[in-house]
Structure 1
Amino acid sequence: MARILFQIALALAMVFGPATAEAARVSPMIVELEPTGRASVARVELTNDSERNIPFEVRMMLGEISEEGELTLSPAEENFLVFPAQAIVESKSQQVFRIQYVGEPELAKSEIYYMSIQQIPVEIEAEASQVQVVINYNVLVNVVPDGVSPVATIRSIEARVEEEKSGIQVRLANDGTGYFMAGLSDWSITGTTQNGETYSENYKGDEMTRKIGVGVIGPGRVRSFFIPLDEELAPDSIKIKVEP
């Protein structure tokens, strides 16, 4: 789901021999903060399920998501306090990381950041033959001031076939001041099939995530989604409504 909620980076060292797998879990993967007050603080827990101690460091990044869903991260550590910034998480134990937004308190719109929890590679003894797997987790952090709200606007709809599957390409914009998640929104798709029959589908809650992922759309941003359908629709008949 979430083509953008986290990235797993695999760094391979010493390609001969058995792999040493590291297992960790992070919760929650999506956090919402306010610019000021008690709600400007969040706690994220990392659980180390592996058989060895693993060192991690935390970096806060500003996130930009392209129309195609590609995530670009840039450092934004001046806007957050993080404790601890580094930690060795012992085997079969948990570590709580605390983050606090300390950036601009008077925001006109919500902002999208990522808490990047990065495993620190460790030195491997020269005589050891193994593959070291380094895993990074990106926790989506939305800073949301009071009074903002998203506005979902359909920019264009195009009937098309992708990988031999009929569907529609939808350019969906957010003309509001708050972020929303297209995959967790309510969708209504209506139209007429090529056989002249009426077509109507409604997707509630997280039903759309199976088709497009979470689909985060920040204020003033546009995302493009291909939505596979069971019927081929007449292009001029298609109508879509999205309610965040």
Structure 2
Amino acid sequence: MFRWISLLALIIFCSQANAYRVEPMVAEMEPIGKRAQMSMRIDNTSQVPLTVELYPLSMTMDEHGNETIEAADNDLLVIPVTAIIKPGRSQSVMVRYLGDPSIAQSKSYRIAVKQVKVEESGANSGQMGLLLQFNTLINVRPKNTEPKLAIKSIKSKDKKWIIEVENSGNSYGRLSDTNWTVSDGIESKYLKGIDISKLIAGTLILPYSTRFFEMQPLNKFNVANLKIDIEEGN
């Protein structure tokens, strides 16, 4: 009996966990012109109506990747802010940048898409549920801005490499958009962006900032003599 109860709970959990999806999860906009506006889509993949609320948030990040978010209603216009989506249907959401059009560096935002609990009557009122929240990432990037990434230090800690990366550019950057030449004077290896993303979790670096990343070590490399050269990827 316990086995069947556990299986039923898992089925309900999974059906709720896949209740909806949001696309795109990552996007880039510009502070002025046609690209100052974009569309998102919320798909209700469940068999019951879905109610969601949307919140624009500004995002900053410290050197360890910890985020600080604040309400950004003055910078981003989101329409609608609340939507009720029928089973199997989709809702289009308009996002428009209303902030300073003359910003000199990229700015990062999140659109929080939060499922709202709706009280139900009847047979479904006591059903187990899991409320989901998706936090999309939007980078507002002016034209003629670019990241400038460089490795500042490499250390070993708890069987991981700790890579300090500086972005001295005026745009956000991603390690997954770069290629690396890794060498310790004896061993040498060339890593493309897709390889780097498998070794490092989270590759975003905001402009004029430094981040420390944990990286899976490469076999046979001596971290004491390690050097990493970064170049822009294709």
Compute the TM-score of the two structures, normalised by the length of structure 2. 0.86
Larger helix fraction of residues? 2
CA distance in 2, matches of 1:142, 1:155: 25
1:238 aligned onto 2:222: no
CA contact 2:164–2:210 (8 Å) conserved in 1: yes
> Match for residue 75 of structure 1?
71
Alignment of 1:114-153 (within 5 A): 114-125=110-121, 128-153=125-150
CA distance in 1, matches of 2:119, 2:92: 25
Q: 1:112 aligns with which of 103, 108, 115?
A: 108
* Deviating more after overlay: 81-90 vs 65-74: 65-74
Question: Residues 102-132 of structure 1: CA distance to partner in whole angstroms, max 9, x if unpaired?
Answer: 1001011000111111111212449733322
1:172 aligned onto 2:168: no
Q: 1:21 aligns with which of 7, 13, 16?
A: 16
In structure 2, do the counterparts of structure 1 residues 230 and 149 end up closer, same or farther at CA, with 3 Å as the change threshold? closer
Question: Residues 211-235 of structure 1: CA distance to partner in whole angstroms, max 9, x if unpaired?
Answer: 2134111101211112212425334
> Match for residue 204 of structure 1?
192
Compute the TM-score of the two structures, normalised by the length of structure 1. 0.83
Q: 1:96 aligns with which of 74, 92, 97?
A: 92
Q: Which runs of 5+ in 1 are unaligned?
A: 1-14, 193-197
Cα RMSD between the aligned structures? 2.0
> Match for residue 206 of structure 2?
218
Aligned length: 219
Q: CA deviation at 1:86?
A: 1.1
CA distance in 2, matches of 1:106, 1:158: 39
Q: Among the aligned pairs, what percent are the same residue?
A: 26
Bigger RCO (CA 8 Å, 6+ sep): 1
SS at match of 1:26: strand
In structure 2, do the counterparts of structure 1 residues 37 and 74 end up closer, same or farther at CA, with 3 Å as the change threshold? same
> Match for residue 180 of structure 2?
187
